[in-house]
Structure 1
Amino acid sequence: MDQQLPGRVRVVVFDVGETLIDESRLWAQQAHTVGVSPFTLMGVIGALIEQQESHHKAWDILGVEAPSAATEIRPGDFYPDALDCLLAARDTGFVVGIAGNQLAGATSCLRAGGFDADFIASAAKWGVAKPSTSFFSLIADASGAEPGEILYVGDRLDNDIIPAAVGFRTALLRRGPWGQIHSRHVDSSLADLRLDSLTELASIFRAATSGAPAEQPANELRRDDPAIRTVRASDADRPSYR
């Protein structure tokens, strides 16, 4: 079924984990760190997701201490369709942001991988993380746009779609354990778009702007707009994982 971009969207903001990056290696490393098999850890997390419980309970269930060190994102962790989608959003005139409860040092990894968004939000620097609605209010502040002009793209109902749906337009991406399970829940209907890939979203961006006159920008809010506030994370930032 064809999907269309919701009206008035001028800013597109991407979640990080299981939206831009594949967390399989990161979770496997966390499992090895605490001395359990990746299959066991991921099975427990899957059961918690299905029960709508916090995945942080996995460590207690397994009887181990939660890993204290963050796992660094590497170039090979990016999903193949992620950069193309971000570039498609930029090329068609949208202001682009990245905002998630990402790992320490994620900002430099994202920029090194070519994900040079107009703003990259830091949960640690702001002192607030998803699913707090304050996190989304700060995204609106950073973008200089009204909530209804922002499309937030994520893989989770609890962290992304439900808290953002208070004013943002939203896109639920069905991949990763959260995306696969949450896409079957009735609350998935809260999302304006339901996607199987970011390739699909890139096509929606291009279709939404294909009819715009060449001499006019697709959106009034531009990257050089002084209302867009640059937000960068420092190496000292220590946002919580997921």
Structure 2
Amino acid sequence: MAKSGGSGARGSRGGVRRPRPGATARPTRKATPKPSPTPSPTPAEEPRTFTLGAVPGATPGKWIGLWRERMPHVPLELREISVATQRTALAEVDAALVRLPVENADELHVIPLYDELPVVVMSTESALTAADDEVTLADLSGEVVIVPADDVLAVRIPDAATPAFAPPADTAEAIATVAAGVGVVIVPMSLARAHQRRDVEYRVLRDGPTSTVALAWPRDATTDDVETFIGIVRGRTARSSR
């Protein structure tokens, strides 16, 4: 008679092997997770300041605002420099807004940025105010043309009258003299606006020379910060490549 294949059959294949009475069950081993590699800490940048020089009349406000948005960890110091000393000042700043021409330009990187129109600043009582928008060099014939010591345009008018006093020390003093009703002074438009007064007006000098404002820095001093400022001036976005 055939043996029954019930659950009591010993060693039946496919069944669950039960531990013997009194035997200790072996614990199931779990794989130990490997520790994740610790990322190397980013080296801290040394504190620094980006120093930007600027001649009178230059308007870097927009670029400074963008710098502070993109480089909040690097303060920007704006330092006013004179046109007369702009070349030597480049040794003391990271970069500067200068007026062309600049001496020894072959030792510098120079990026022309914009041209400024020349204007004639005159007293509100001057007959030249009859012109609505512009005057010409010919209109200045017989006028006392004041040339301050910090003049940047070097306009020479053959038929102009020579002042009977020493050249003013700077543009501000020259415009104050004009306001008193003595002569006229020719300057870039930004300087006329910077020294605007109620007792003076200005008109564009249609056939006068323009003044070019440029960004300059020494060829051997191109740093990452200088490259960043160049990108801002040229309109690159924060994600743009150089």
TM-score, shorter chain, exceeding 0.5: no
Higher relative contact order (CA 8 A, sep 6+): 1
More helix by share: 1
Structure 1 length-normalised TM: 0.30
More strand by share: 2
Larger Rg: 2
Structure 2 length-normalised TM: 0.30
